Structure 1
C-alpha cells in the first residue's frame, strides 16, 4: 500500500497548468462509472487530472495513473489498495476516483463495479472505444456512461496559441494563417505546442507506431503486421475517399502479401477502435448502407503527414469538419448517386442537415456544389444546407456559405 499512497500523494500536490479542455462531463448525482476514451496522446490524462484538481476542493477525490512505472504491473490488488488509501486520506466512505489508463489492469471492470456499489463515482480513461464502452455497459448495467475526447478543437488550438479571435482585418488574416497551420499539423496537444516542424513530424510518426502496436497489434494479437501497416498507409494516402476492402485485398495479393477480405475487414475495425481512423457510412437503407463502400478518414489531419507529402487543403478541410462533428457527438453519413455527392448528411428529427466542404467555390465548382445540395434535397427532406468554404460567406438561394474558421468557432458574421 505504500507505493499506491506515494503515487496518490504525488498527484495531490501536482500543479495543473494548460489549455482548459471543452469536454463537458457533469458529475452525476448517483454513483456511476464514467469512461473517457479517445486517441492516445489526445490529452485524456491531462483532462482527468484537470477534473480531479477542480473537484478536490469540493468533494473527496483521488487520482491514480495506472501506467506509472512505480505501480508496474498494476493489478486488482493495486486498485483495492486505492480504496484503503482513500479512506485514510479523506476519512470518508464515498467520493470520486480517477483511474487513468485503466486498461493496464486485467479485469478492471470488476473493481469499478465494486467501487460504484460502495457509493463512489469512478472516472476511467483508455484508448479503446469498444473495450471501455462495452465493459462499462455490461458490468455496470446502466450505471455507466462514455464520453470521447479528441485532439484539440480549433478553439482549443487558438487558446494554446494565446490568440483571441476578432473581426478586424489583421485578426482575420491571423486566424486564417493559424487555421492553415491547424489543418496541416492537426490538434494533438504536444504537436501544437512544438515549434520545430521536424519534431512535429517525428512526434506524429511516433504516435502512429505507438497506437498501431499498443492498441492494435498487442491488444488484438495481430500477426500479419505487414498487411496491417500497408492497410493504414493506403488509408492515409487516400483518406476521405471511398475505401474498398475487396480491392485492397486483391492489390495485396498482387504484391505478395497474403491478407483476405475478412482479415482486412477486422484490421479496419481494430484501427477504428484504436481511434486512428473513422469510417463514414453511405446514407441508404440499413442493408444497403452496410454493403456500400465507406469513406475512411484519419482521426486527425496531422497524421496525414506520416503518409503523404502533398497535402490537399480541401480534403484536410473536409477531415477537420468530420472530427468537429464527432466532438459534437454527431456521426454523419455521406450521400452519393451517379449525379452528385454530398460530403456529410446529418439526421435531425424527421429531416436532414447537409454539409458540403470546398476550398474554392468559384465558377464550375460553385455551381457543382450548389447543384449537389439541391439534388440531395429532392431525395430526402432537408431543413438546412451549408457550404463550408475557405473564405467566402453569404447566401445563394437556400444555401449558406460559411468560412471554415467561422464554422469551427461557431461565430456568426
Structure 2
C-alpha cells in the first residue's frame, strides 16, 4: 500500500469516532481571532489524547471539515514531514470546498521538524491546528521556542474533583440531601488519597490503583527526566524525587537537601539539584510556590514550597503521606487554584506566621487562603486565624478564607471577616451569594 493510502486509511479510521467518557473542563476557545496553533500540554496520562479526540468529535458533529491523525500509529511509524503533507492532500480530497479547516495532530513530536509544517498550514493555508504530545518531548517551553509566538498553550491536568465525581457516575445538583453530602465527602477522601489520573480513577481495585500510579512515577522519572536529559547519577535523582514527594506542601530547601544527601553518601552538587528541580517542573511532576514579597529579589531568593501534580503519586510513592490529610488537602487546593490559573505565593512573616496561599491579580494581593483539616482544636484555630489576620494587615487584603474539612461559617476576628469553607464546596466551585450557596455552571 502506498504511503498516502496508509495516511488516508488512518484518517478514515478516526473520521466518525464516537468519543465517550468524562467531559473535560479545559476551556479552549473554538474560534481564535489570530492565526495560532493550539497546543495541549500537561503531565503524562492526564488525558491529552482523549481531549483532542473529544474536541475533534465535537467539530465533526457540527458538520465541519476536520481530520484527526495520531503520529505514533504503527502503520506509518516513524512519521515524516512527507506524511504530514500527504495528510493535507487527503484532507482536501475529503473536503474540497471547506471554509473552516481543522487538523488535530496527536503525538506530533514524533515528526522531526514538525513545527515547520504547523507554521506553514496555519499561516499560509489557514488551518486551525490542535496539537498534543508526550510531556517528555512536547513541553510548553519547547513549543514556545519552536513556534515562536505562533501557538496558544493550554494545560490539562488530571481530573478535578468535579470531573472525578462525574467519572464515578455522581452528578450533584444545586440542592443536596444529607445522603448526597455524605457520599461527596466519602468520594473526596478517595480523591485525596488516589488523585485524579483518569485511568486510576476508573479502577476499583486499590492494589491496581497503586500499581498503575507507581508505574506513572517510574515512567515520568525514567523517560521525562533520566532519558530525556541524559542524567547519569541515577541514585541521586531517585533520592531527590523521593525527597520531593515526601516534602509536598512544605518548604523545600535545596541547600539543606544537598547536605542531607551528602550525609547519606550521595555525592551531588547544589547546582545539579537545582537543575533536577527544573527538570521535574518542566515534566509537570512538581510545582514550586515562592514566598510573597513586594521585593522581587526576595521572592526569587526565597525557599519555595513544593506541590505535586496529583495526590495519587504522593500516596503511592510515600505510603505514610495518608497520615497527613491536612497536607493532602493543601495539595488538592493548590492544584485547583492552578486549574483556575491563579498566580500563587505563600507568606511567612518575621514571627514565622504562615499563610498557605497568597492569590494575586495584576501584582495586587486579592485573597489569602489557609488550609486546615480540622478547626476543632482551639490552638489550631487560633494559629490559623492569627496568621490570616497578621498577613491581612501586612498585605492590605481583607478577603480571607480558611478551607477545612466540614465547617462552614463566617467569623469575625480583630474586626475582620473570615470565611470558613468546606473543602468539597471549594473544589466544586461553590460560591456564596446572599448567604445561599450556588454552584456555578461548569463548561
Give the TM bin, normalised by the shorter chain: over 0.9
Q: Give yes or no for the alignment of 1:90 onto 2:95.
A: yes
- Which stretch shows the higher mean deviation, 255-264 or 173-182? 255-264
Q: Give yes or no for the alignment of 1:400 onto 2:400.
A: no
Q: Residue in 2 aligned with 1:116?
A: 122
- The 2-side partners of 1:72 and 1:130 are apart by 17
Q: TM-score, normalised by structure 2?
A: 0.89
Instruction: Report if aligned partners of 2:136, 2:228 keep a CA contact under 8 Å in 1.
Output: no
Instruction: Report if aligned partners of 1:130, 1:273 keep a CA contact under 8 Å in 2.
Output: no
Q: Tell me: CA distance 1:46–1:268, structure 2 relative to 1, closer, same or farther (3 Å).
A: same
User: Of the candidates 125, 136, 144, which is equivalent to residue 137 of structure 1?
Assistant: 144
Q: Give yes or no for the alignment of 1:151 onto 2:151.
A: no
Q: Tell me: CA distance 1:290–1:96, structure 2 relative to 1, closer, same or farther (3 Å).
A: same
Q: Residue in 2 aligned with 1:6?
A: 9
User: Of the candidates 285, 298, 309, which is equivalent to residue 308 of structure 2?
Assistant: 298
Q: Residue in 1 aligned with 2:72?
A: 67
- Which stretch shows the higher mean deviation, 172-181 or 301-310? 301-310
Provide Cα deviations, 1:269-314, integer angstroms capped at 9, x if missing partner: 1111111111111112211111111111111000012221221111
Structure 2 regions of 5+ residues with no counterpart? 432-436, 438-443
Q: CA deviation at 1:3?
A: 2.1
- The 2-side partners of 1:75 and 1:254 are apart by 50
Q: Residue in 2 aligned with 1:354?
A: 368
SS of the residue corresponding to residue 265 of structure 2 reads coil
Q: CA deviation at 1:330?
A: 1.4
SS of the residue corresponding to residue 70 of structure 1 reads coil
- The 1-side partners of 2:39 and 2:20 are apart by 23
SS of the residue corresponding to residue 387 of structure 1 reads strand
Structure 1 regions of 5+ residues with no counterpart? none
- The 2-side partners of 1:385 and 1:244 are apart by 28
- The 1-side partners of 2:19 and 2:316 are apart by 31
User: Of the candidates 49, 52, 65, which is equivalent to residue 53 of structure 2?
Assistant: 49
User: Of the candidates 58, 64, 74, which is equivalent to residue 63 of structure 2?
Assistant: 58
Instruction: Report if aligned partners of 1:342, 1:372 keep a CA contact under 8 Å in 2.
Output: yes
- The 2-side partners of 1:225 and 1:10 are apart by 42
User: Of the candidates 377, 388, 402, which is equivalent to residue 373 of structure 1?
Assistant: 388
Instruction: Report if aligned partners of 1:236, 1:304 keep a CA contact under 8 Å in 2.
Output: yes
What is the CA RMSD across the aligned residues, in angstroms?
1.7
- The 1-side partners of 2:360 and 2:44 are apart by 30
Instruction: Report if aligned partners of 1:281, 1:334 keep a CA contact under 8 Å in 2.
Output: yes
User: Of the candidates 430, 433, 437, which is equivalent to residue 411 of structure 1?
Assistant: 430
Q: Residue in 1 aligned with 2:440?
A: none
- The 1-side partners of 2:408 and 2:237 are apart by 42
- Which stretch shows the higher mean deviation, 88-97 or 232-241? 88-97
- Which stretch shows the higher mean deviation, 151-160 or 109-118? 109-118
- The 1-side partners of 2:12 and 2:226 are apart by 35
- Which stretch shows the higher mean deviation, 16-25 or 344-353? 344-353
Instruction: Report if aligned partners of 1:240, 1:296 keep a CA contact under 8 Å in 2.
Output: yes
Provide Cα deviations, 1:144-198, integer angstroms capped at 9, x if missing partner: 2111010000000111111122421111111100100110110001111100000
SS of the residue corresponding to residue 333 of structure 2 reads helix
